[in-house]
């Protein structure tokens, strides 16, 4: 009986030790500071890459003078389409949102959420126009809509290119291509491209 009890105790001790070893080897979750030098680098697109592309684009727009006006008014921009031509399932709105934030901060551009290729971005714009017909709403409280048409359109594409290089490595290149169009004349008043290039093991994945 003592021998059987001793064996069970040994198994329990061994199991506890194994659990402690496994727990000790498990990486701890950490908070990452944006722009930190020790931030992990991936072969795919990260939030840092989108931030870099958006900052480059906005700075280029502002420096070029493409969004400057001398009549005291602000440009109204509509986002046309940003095509994802990469191997990854990414939300291009992540790039667009950062660009819009920076342009709004510049005080030179506003973005319409009522007009777009696929209807209103903010669906409340469409719903609000129907309130005057609702019997549940005090019609005197409904403000007549007067939507402002955009005079500029932002469009673009994100491209990915993978190439094998020496020493069992691969070069992954991403190109953020953007165009700003003057809708009055249909002419591109600004175009920019931000390349992001990464090199790593050919065994790694970029999607």
Which DSSP letter does residue 147 get? Answer: P
Q: Is the pLDDT of residue 115 over 70?
A: yes
| pTM, two decimal places | 0.76
Answer for the pair 165, 200: CB distance below 8 angstroms, yes or no.
no
Residues 75-110 as b or e (16 or more Cβ within 10 Å = b): bbbbbbebebebeeebebebbbebbbebbeeeebbb
Q: Residue 23: inside a domain, yes or no?
A: no
Higher pLDDT, 10 or 55: 55
Q: How many helices (H) and strands (E) does the chain have?
A: 4, 5
For 110, the domain range is: 44-131+143-201
If pLDDT is split at 50, 70 and 90, which confidence band does 204 have? low
Number of structural domains, the chain? 1
CATH code, 197: 3.40.50
Q: Residue 170: inside a domain, yes or no?
A: yes
With tokens 């931000």, the residue in question is 194
Q: Where are the alpha helices (DSSP H) in the chain?
A: 2-25, 47-64, 93-106, 124-128
Q: Residue 31: inside a domain, yes or no?
A: no
Q: Residue 104: inside a domain, yes or no?
A: yes
Q: Is the pLDDT of residue 20 over 60?
A: no
Higher pLDDT, 158 or 44: 158
If pLDDT is split at 50, 70 and 90, which confidence band does 18 have? low
Which DSSP letter does residue 140 get? Answer: G
- pLDDT per residue as tens digits for the range 139-182: 889 888 899 999 999 999 999 999 988 888 899 999 999 999 99
Q: Residue 30: inside a domain, yes or no?
A: no
User: What distance in Å separates the CA atoms of residue 139 and residue 16, rounded to the nearest whole number?
Assistant: 71
User: What distance in Å separates the CA atoms of residue 116 and residue 95, rounded to the nearest whole number?
Assistant: 17
pLDDT of residue 8: 62
Q: Residue 117: inside a domain, yes or no?
A: yes
pLDDT of residue 162: 92
């Amino acid at each position: 009986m003592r021998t059987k009890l001793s064996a069970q105790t040994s198994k329990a001790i061994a199991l506890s030790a194994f659990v402690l070893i496994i727990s000790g080897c498990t990486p701890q979750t950490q908070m990452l500071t944006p722009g930190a030098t020790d931030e992990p680098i991936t072969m795919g697109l990260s939030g840092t890459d989108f931030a870099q592309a958006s900052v480059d684009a906005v700075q280029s727009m502002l420096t070029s003078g493409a969004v400057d006006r001398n009549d005291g008014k602000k440009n109204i921009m509509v986002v046309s389409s940003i095509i994802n031509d990469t191997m990854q399932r990414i939300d291009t709105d992540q790039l667009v949102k950062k660009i819009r934030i920076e342009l709004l901060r510049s005080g030179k551009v506003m973005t319409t959420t009522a007009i777009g290729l696929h209807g209103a971005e903010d669906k409340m714009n469409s719903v609000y126009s129907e309130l005057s017909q609702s019997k549940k709403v005090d019609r005197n409280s409904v403000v007549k809509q007067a939507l402002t048409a955009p005079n500029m359109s932002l469009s673009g594409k994100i491209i990915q290119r993978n190439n094998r290089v020496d020493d069992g490595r691969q070069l992954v290149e991403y190109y953020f291509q953007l165009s700003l169009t003057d809708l009055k004349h249909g002419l591109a008043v600004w175009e920019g491209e931000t390349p992001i290039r990464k090199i790593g093991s050919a065994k790694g994945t970029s999607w």
